Amino acid sequence: MTERAQPPTAAPQHPPPVNPGLTAAQVAERVARGEVNDVPVRSSRSTVDIIRANVFTRFNAIIGFLFAIILVIGPLQDGLFGFVIVANTGIGIIQELRAKKTLDNLAVIGEARPTVRRDGVAAEIPTSEVVLDDLIELGPGDKVVVDGEVLESDSLEIDESLLTGEADPVVKKPGDPVMSGSFVVAGGGAFTTTKVGREAYAAQLAEEASRFTLVHSELRTGISQILKYVTWMMVPTAIGLIASHLLTLGLPGDEAIRRMVAGIVPMIPEGLVLLTSVAFAIGVIRLGRRQCLVQELPAIEGLARVDVVCLDKTGTLTEGGMDVSALRSLSEPPGEPPGEPPSDGSPPTERHGTATESRDEAYIKQVLGALGDADPRPNASLQAIIDAYPADGGWQCTRSLPFSSARKYSGACLTGPDGERTTWLLGAPDVLLPPGDHRLTDVDDLNAQGLRVLLLARTAQELDAPEITRDAHPTALIVLEQRLRPDAPDTLRYFADQGVHTKVISGDNAVSVGAVAAKLGLPGAESPVDARTLPTDRDAMAATLDEGAVFGRVTPQQKRDMVAALQSRGHTVAMTGDGVNDVLALKDADIGVAMGSGSEATRAVAQIVLLDNSFASLPSVVAEGRRVIGNITRVATLFLTKTVYSVLLALLVACWQIPYPYLPRHLTLLSTLTIGVPAFFLALAPNKERARPHFVRRVMRYALPSGLITGLAAFGTYFLARYHYTGPDALSAETSAATLTLFLAAIWVLAIIARPYTWWRVALVLAMALGFLVVLVTPWLQDFFDLRLVGTTMPWAAVAIAAVAALLLEITWHWISRRFPA
């Protein structure tokens, strides 16, 4: 038997493309006319959008208005809060621009690059370079990036569920339309583009799939709810303060306005929104350095809240590649007498170099080589067969049936060297063999060892026969050994330690999947479940899913149903995968995680893409999300404590008909030292606390009593000071004493929130206390902030009241922690 002289691309079974596509001149002509797919695919907001979103906010407008008033009536030190807002807004813009740069660079790696045929040559090009009438080739897992019309079809099946909601793949024939946003699940072909640029459906879908979107985030929702209530409280409070100071107390207009501004500004937790965005942005940058692309900003928060992770075995627990470990003949090939050389004249070969290989095994290897050569886009299983049994050129493929995860098999019509025409199927033994077949026992034994088994069968029926597997004649078992990911055991152990339930959901044989999971140490892997036995009722399915850990022979639609069943039990579900059979489940899961080497369809619908294909990156994402959630909860308590005591003080002074105790400069100083600076460090600190639900409730149960205690302590000192001090400078002395109490109580709240203590947390609290002390002892700072402690009695009384407040804070926090454990 002679070997082929032609290269593989020139083999008879792969003739040159009938349609060469556009020429270079035609492409240039269309580019000149603007008929190019020039819609930019952004991974984040544009620079203009970032600046607009950070500058033009509701609270910036309110604070900006109040700042303008202070600039008019003076003095400038009472308008310091305006400069703080400018600085905070600038920080937010800079951090988000840094995140944008990182994400834009990373997004290029995962960007779709369609294969376009021009001048008879197929090459991958960026989506933005596709022109009208281009001929785009398609294969399994490819995403349709623009609208078009099918020109070539080789059993082409396209999933349009992202467009129509219909889960069943649609068979496409020449002349049929294809829509951008759909993807290939089986077969191959080519289509001619009919719409590009903003006329194509991809102009909306691709941009939505790849940019930051504000999906549901409990943090954002909770903060928005808090800000809404604060907004409603500000207007009546401002009216009450100005009326009280002007009409009842008879203060000058400028003084009344200053006191009103001082009462309103601290009610606004403006830095909370900023710090949340900064914490998310920095989290995205950190994950980007680990080759983890976060396509939707709150996704790191969502994954931190996940309590069930559904894993697809192939590409997640195992590496993409496989190796053929054994080939077991089940019968003699028809038409060949046993023991004779193959009819094509090829000489017998050596098996493992020790014995002459049987004629039937050589025949089977030739069939396998031809099946592999017939598929231009082999999956991992077929690639292992191609590597082990390369085609010898003696067989021709006249028709093929590509592998589909729904069918669990592929097929081809082959013509041998002797002209004999045969039809072969290659796929799952438990699908191709009838139930109860004695060969399934051997298959189960192999699967129990964690091996993957394929069955080669011959059939007399045509490939498009509805029951083609009924009379299939089993010929051989191909035993494949999967390559386990070395990092998978540690990752599974991490999730188990964190109380996250892991469910392995695979299309492979359940016993085989269970054996692989058991090797990796997954609890419950010893009792795998065949998904074909799962109940269709959602409640019953959810009960089975809660009990089991490994599920095999799961169809793409079942994966979707399983995610929905888990969600119906109140679980927050993450789904990982890399193949087109995972897309439906990825789309419906709370968080979808795709492998960077996976199909374009999976990357398009996932919120997180692991660009280095490392399953071990998931713990980093979970840890980053927990850091954000835990730290924002901490700093939110600080901000809302200030909001509560500001509202309380405003109400108390209005009821007692006395001047508001503070000027804006005082509260700017206090906010900077007890909230602004420490909150920035606390928001970016390491934090491994478990993510818990009910953000608003958890924050307010601490902020409300803390704000009430702090506000009452400050008002108590102010009330006593009004009776202690007399004279023209009495109000300044009263304010200074009240400021001392408020600072000491607020710094104690900070000290509680900073726990558990580390050296830098202790240093942070002490540095803030030292900063206030510097203001008290420095003459020019005393004048600037109008802070001067007069005498010794009232200052020490202020300290004593603050000490009582600190004791009450400790008692209250301990009681809440015991009564309402987090």
For 607-629, what is the mean pLDDT? Answer: 81
Could you give the CA distance from residue 153 to residue 822 in angstroms, rounded to a whole number?
A: 58
Contact 638, 631 (CB under 8 A): no
For 625-634, what is the mean pLDDT? Answer: 83
Domain at 518, CATH number: 3.40.50.1000
Token pair, residue 221, equals 């929702």
The whole domain housing 495 covers 292-317+485-613
Q: Cβ atoms within 10 A of the Cβ of 376, count?
A: 13
Contact 397, 370 (CB under 8 A): yes
Could you give the CA distance from residue 401 to residue 325 in angstroms, rounded to a whole number?
A: 25
Token pair, residue 203, equals 């102009």
Instruction: Say whether pLDDT at 473 is over 80.
Output: yes
Mean pLDDT, all residues of the chain: 80
Domain at 462, CATH number: 3.40.1110.10
Which residues contact residue 624 at a Cβ distance below 8 angstroms, ignoring those fewer than 6 apart? Answer: 283, 286, 287, 300, 304
Whether 798 maps to a domain, the answer reads yes
Lowest mean pLDDT among 79-88, 162-171, 812-821: 162-171
Whole-Å CA distances, 778 to 600, 669, 788: 64, 14, 10
Instruction: Say whether pLDDT at 412 is over 70.
Output: yes
Whether 184 maps to a domain, the answer reads no
The confidence score (pLDDT) of residue 348 equals: 36
Query: What string of DSSP letters covers 428-456?
Result: -HHHHSPTT-THHHHHHHHHHTTEEEEEE
Handedness of CA 556, 557, 560, 561 (dihedral sign): negative
pLDDT band at 161 (very low <50, low <70, confident <90, very high): low
54-71: per-residue pLDDT in tens? 787 777 777 788 788 878
pLDDT band at 13 (very low <50, low <70, confident <90, very high): very low
678 and 729 belong to one structural domain: yes
- Domain end: 481, 511, 539, which one? 481
The confidence score (pLDDT) of residue 201 equals: 60
Instruction: Say whether pLDDT at 102 is over 90.
Output: no
Instruction: Say whether pLDDT at 353 is over 50.
Output: no
**Which pTM was predicted?**
0.63
Which of 659, 743, 583, 707 is closest to 242 using CA atoms? 659
pLDDT band at 581 (very low <50, low <70, confident <90, very high): low
Contact 238, 264 (CB under 8 A): yes
Domain at 663, CATH number: 1.20.1110.10
Whether 110 maps to a domain, the answer reads no
For 358-373, what is the mean pLDDT? Answer: 82
Instruction: Say whether pLDDT at 326 is over 90.
Output: no
pLDDT band at 168 (very low <50, low <70, confident <90, very high): low
Q: Sheet containing 550-552: give its strands across.
A: 292-294, 608-610, 591-595, 573-577, 308-311, 501-505, 550-552, 529-530
Could you give the CA distance from residue 58 to residue 65 in angstroms, rounded to a whole number?
A: 11
792-809: per-residue pLDDT in tens? 899 999 999 999 999 999
Contact 475, 333 (CB under 8 A): yes
Contact 746, 676 (CB under 8 A): no
The confidence score (pLDDT) of residue 140 equals: 80
Total domains in the chain come to 3
706 and 749 belong to one structural domain: yes
Q: How many CA atoms lie within 13 A of 795 on its CB side?
A: 9
247 and 379 belong to one structural domain: no
Q: How far is CA 228 from the centre of its chain?
A: 28
470 and 491 belong to one structural domain: no
Cis peptide before 523 (omega within 30 of 0): no
DSSP one-letter code for 189: E
For 728-735, what is the mean pLDDT? Answer: 84
Radius of gyration of the chain (CA): 35
228 and 255 belong to one structural domain: yes
The confidence score (pLDDT) of residue 244 equals: 77
The confidence score (pLDDT) of residue 335 equals: 40
763 and 655 belong to one structural domain: yes
3-state secondary structure (DSSP) of residue 342: coil
- Which one is predicted more confidently, 174 or 319? 174
583 and 632 belong to one structural domain: no
Kindly give the pairing relationship between strand 183-195 and strand 135-138: antiparallel
651 and 799 belong to one structural domain: yes
Which residues in 578-602 are b (16+ Cβ under 10 Å) and which e?
bbbbbbbbbbbbbbbbbbbebbbbb
765 and 730 belong to one structural domain: yes
Q: Cβ atoms within 10 A of the Cβ of 279, count?
A: 24
The confidence score (pLDDT) of residue 797 equals: 94
334 and 350 belong to one structural domain: yes
- Domain end: 423, 448, 481, which one? 481
Which of 10, 8, 314 is closest to 141 using CA atoms? 314
The confidence score (pLDDT) of residue 206 equals: 42
Instruction: Say whether pLDDT at 352 is over 60.
Output: no
Instruction: Say whether pLDDT at 644 is over 80.
Output: yes
3-state secondary structure (DSSP) of residue 349: coil
406 and 393 belong to one structural domain: yes
Instruction: Say whether pLDDT at 334 is over 50.
Output: no
380-403: per-residue pLDDT in tens? 788 888 888 888 777 888 888 877
Whether 107 maps to a domain, the answer reads no
The confidence score (pLDDT) of residue 9 equals: 35
The confidence score (pLDDT) of residue 170 equals: 83
Q: Active-site residue 78, yes or no?
A: no
Kindly give the pairing relationship between strand 147-159 and strand 177-178: antiparallel
Which residues contact residue 295 at a Cβ distance below 8 angstroms, ignoring those fewer than 6 apart? Answer: 43, 209, 210, 211, 212, 606, 607, 608, 609
Name the catalytic one among 78, 147, 159, 312. 312
Token pair, residue 453, equals 């088994």
pLDDT band at 342 (very low <50, low <70, confident <90, very high): very low
Kindly give the pairing relationship between strand 421-427 and strand 451-459: antiparallel
642 and 755 belong to one structural domain: yes
In SS3 terms, 363-407 reads as: HHHHHHHHHHHHCCCCCHHHHHHHHHCCCCCCCEEEEEEEEECCC
Whole-Å CA distances, 497 to 461, 490, 494, 523, 690: 53, 10, 5, 12, 11
Instruction: Say whether pLDDT at 226 is over 50.
Output: yes
What separation, in Å, do the N-terminal and C-terminal C-alpha atoms of the chain show?
A: 75
Residue in this structure with the two tokens 């045509």, named with its chain if needed = 462
pLDDT band at 359 (very low <50, low <70, confident <90, very high): low
Lowest mean pLDDT among 539-548, 595-604, 697-706: 595-604
Q: Cβ atoms within 10 A of the Cβ of 182, count?
A: 24
For 645-652, what is the mean pLDDT? Answer: 88
Lowest mean pLDDT among 3-7, 68-72, 435-439, 497-501: 3-7
Which of 428, 481, 436 is closest to 455 using CA atoms? 428
3-state secondary structure (DSSP) of residue 289: helix
Residue in this structure with the two tokens 């990911």, named with its chain if needed = 485
Q: Cβ atoms within 10 A of the Cβ of 315, count?
A: 23
For 22-47, what is the mean pLDDT? Answer: 78
Whether 746 maps to a domain, the answer reads yes
Instruction: Say whether pLDDT at 774 is over 90.
Output: yes
For 571-587, what is the mean pLDDT? Answer: 80
For 160-173, what is the mean pLDDT? Answer: 69
Percent of the chain with pLDDT over 70: 84
- Strand runs (DSSP E) across 622-691, as ranges? none
The confidence score (pLDDT) of residue 432 equals: 87
- Domain end: 586, 613, 640, which one? 613
The confidence score (pLDDT) of residue 332 equals: 46
Adjacent-strand bridge partners of 193: 148
What φ, ψ does residue 740 adopt, rounded to 5°? -60, -45
The confidence score (pLDDT) of residue 162 equals: 57
pLDDT band at 759 (very low <50, low <70, confident <90, very high): very high
For 312-335, what is the mean pLDDT? Answer: 71
Angle ∠(572,520,564) on CA atoms, nearest 5: 25
Instruction: Say whether pLDDT at 625 is over 90.
Output: no
- Strand runs (DSSP E) across 623-715, as ranges? none
Whether 793 maps to a domain, the answer reads yes
The confidence score (pLDDT) of residue 697 equals: 85
Query: What string of DSSP letters covers 211-246?
Result: S------HHHHHHHHHHHHHHHHHHHHHHHHHHIII
Whether 802 maps to a domain, the answer reads yes
Instruction: Say whether pLDDT at 14 is over 50.
Output: no
Q: At what angle do helices 793-819 and 695-724 cross, to 10 degrees?
A: 160
pLDDT band at 523 (very low <50, low <70, confident <90, very high): confident
Whether 262 maps to a domain, the answer reads yes
